[in-house]
Chain A
Amino acid sequence: MISIQHLTYRYDKKAPLILDHINLEINKGECVALIGQNGSGKTTLLKQLNGLLKPTSGRVTINGLDTATTKTSALARHIGYLFQNPDHQIFCNTVYDEIRFGLLNIQCPPEEIHDRIKRIAGLLGLENKLTRDPFTLSRGERQRVALASVLVLETDILVLDEPTTGQDYRECVEIMEIVKDLNRMGKTIIMVSHDIEVVADYCERTIILHQGRVLEDDATHVVLRKSESLMLSGLEPPQIIQLALRFGPLFQHVRSPEDMAEAVAACAVPGGVRV
């Protein structure tokens, strides 16, 4: 599906390596979080996936297409990309036109267009905003317009660069639930996030990038227990896992508050809890 082999990248000949011998395989239907400090190369790696940046050496293939030789606009049929800043993307007069723009680019049949826009707008709570000028919307709403215009293309792979920035907690959960639903429908998701709780709740696999290298690449619950690696990235394990780590080996499997409650109950002895 996505295959990255010995990928290195630098912006120009004398510049330092931004990506340093990265090897990754991401299979269909995975939901992968990419975390790391600012400047660790996350966005650069994402931009390699749809050919916005071309490898300095190594190979990136998407559904068998080599990104070095395929135009980004052609890769857009396979891979949807949400930018960090929605304002880089929005330029149409109405939300409706904005969502439609990509569909026209990929030559979607006209009779399908309206339905697809309606469906995605409903999914993201934008159905009342379709005639509005996107620039008059709030930051959170603009983020969702940008997301809608990417999701509407119904690509197999979705690359999301911090999809929940500028959202309040409820909006954040809503967006992630949509992303999760898409994942259940078989879409491959790769997302950058600084929100460790979002990563813990929604992604099965987590990759930590540090100074252009893959520092950790494993199941999320495994990676989130590696305090040192997280620390290098300026992150901490989610609170529930921090607590579980302090309690020791009996709490190894704890990933959620429910697990914690069960584990605590299992330690119950007459007159108290024994850890």
Chain B
Amino acid sequence: MKQMLEYVHGDSVIHRLNPLVKLLWAFLTCIACFISSNHLFLLGVLLSTVVVAASGSVLARAKGVYKALFILGFLLMLFQLLFTPYGRVYFYILPGVPVTDQGLSFSLLLMLRMMAALSPLSLMLMLTPMNELLTAMTHTLRIPYRYAFVVVTALRFIPTFSREMDQIMQAQRSRGHETDTRNPFKKVKVILPMCIPLLISSVRRIETMAISLETRGFNTGPRSYRKKLGFTRFDALAIIIVMAVLLLSIIIG
């Protein structure tokens, strides 16, 4: 989890794009995936995200994302497959539970859609430094700083909490608590109580952070920004591509 949302430092074309462009990409790709119900289109979008990951040289990291999305998507697909009784029946997986052509097609679509729609978001976070995102949101999009700050801080803390959860699990394992079980049902039962220390330490941390922000003059007036965000030919090109994809999704349907 922690690796899926954390910024990976780099200097690729993708890294240098205006953060707004990347935000737009993630957002519009997601919309395009929901507009279109074409398997090939979704597969194409998914492959295009792989290209983006590769050109940002975060493919190794992105593998984890694709894997997680695949597992999630596969489960979704399985359920959809079992609960779509109409269409031409291929065979019965259980008595009264048919596997049909429509079921198969629709469940595959769902899986592809989920993978194609969500991976850009994760890639965007991997390829955009948080402070640039913050600057883009407040400066260009005119989102009030305090709200933009909330969003960015929430994202920024996901890896921290995930690391903290690791520590907590390790502490419990050291006391003979069997968290290293492979059985997923057992695991959930074992992990749930461990959320309490995480919750409490996060609340403590957030309280401290709020006070520390106040003492450093948070939200007292206009701010200065370290970096001016430029807009290059590549940004223009990227926007054109993203728009084209969106348009394509509408045309294909």
Chain A residues with CB under 8 Å of chain B are 47, 50, 52, 71-74, 76-77, 79-81, 83, 85, 87-91, 101-102, 105-106, 135, 149-150, 153
Contacts and interface: CB of A to CB of B under 8 A. Distances in A.
Contacts of A73: 173, 176-180
Contacts of A89: 168, 171-172, 175, 197
A91 B194 contact: yes
Interface residues of B, number: 21
B175 A101 contact: yes
B164 interface: yes
Given A91-B197, A101-B175, A149-B175, 11 more contacts: A72-B180, A73-B177, A73-B179, A88-B168, A88-B171, A91-B168, A91-B172, A106-B176, A135-B200, A150-B174, A153-B175
Given A72-B180, A73-B178, A90 B197 contact: yes
A87 B173 contact: no
B196 interface: yes
B175 A87 contact: no
A76 B173 contact: yes
10 A-B pairs with the lowest CB-CB distances in the bound complex, closest first: A105-B176, A76-B176, A81-B174, A102-B175, A89-B171, A72-B173, A91-B196, A73-B178, A91-B197, A88-B171
A62 to B, nearest CB: 12
A106 B174 CA distance: 11
Contacts of B178: 71, 73, 105
B167 A88 contact: yes
Does more than half of chain B's interface fall in helix, strand or loop, or is it mixed?
helix
B176 A77 contact: yes
Given A87-B197, A88-B164, A102 B176 contact: yes
Contact of B174 (A80, A85, A91, A135): A80
A50 B197 CA distance: 22
A52 B173 CA distance: 8
Interface in B135-182: 164, 167-168, 170-180
Contacts of B197: 87-91
Contacts of A101: 175, 177
B219 interface: no
B177 A105 contact: yes
Interface of B: 164, 167-168, 170-180, 193-194, 196-197, 200-201, 204
Contacts of A106: 176
10 contacts: A52-B173, A72-B170, A72-B173, A72-B180, A73-B180, A81-B174, A83-B171, A88-B171, A91-B193, A153-B175
Nearest to A106: B176
A76 B193 contact: no
A72 B193 contact: no
A44 to B, nearest CB: 12
B176 A52 contact: no
A105 B170 contact: no
A153 B170 contact: no
Given A88-B168, A89-B168, A90-B197, A52 B174 contact: yes
Nearest to A108: B176
Contacts of A79: 174
B170 A52 contact: yes
B179 A87 contact: no
Nearest to A14: B60
A186 to B, nearest CB: 21
Contacts of B176: 73-74, 76-77, 102, 105-106, 153
Contacts of B200: 87, 135
Contacts of A105: 175-178
Contact of A87 (B177, B180, B193, B201): B201
Contacts of B204: 87
Nearest to A76: B176
B8 to A, nearest CB: 13
Contacts of B173: 52, 72-73, 76
Nearest to A83: B171
A90 B197 CA distance: 6
Contact of A72 (B174, B194, B196, B201): B174
B92 to A, nearest CB: 41
A253 to B, nearest CB: 40
A184 B144 CA distance: 63
A52 B168 CA distance: 12
B63 to A, nearest CB: 13
A37 to B, nearest CB: 21
A91 B180 CA distance: 18
B167 A85 contact: yes
Contacts of A135: 200
B193 A83 contact: no
A73 B179 CA distance: 8
A270 to B, nearest CB: 62
A102 B176 CA distance: 6
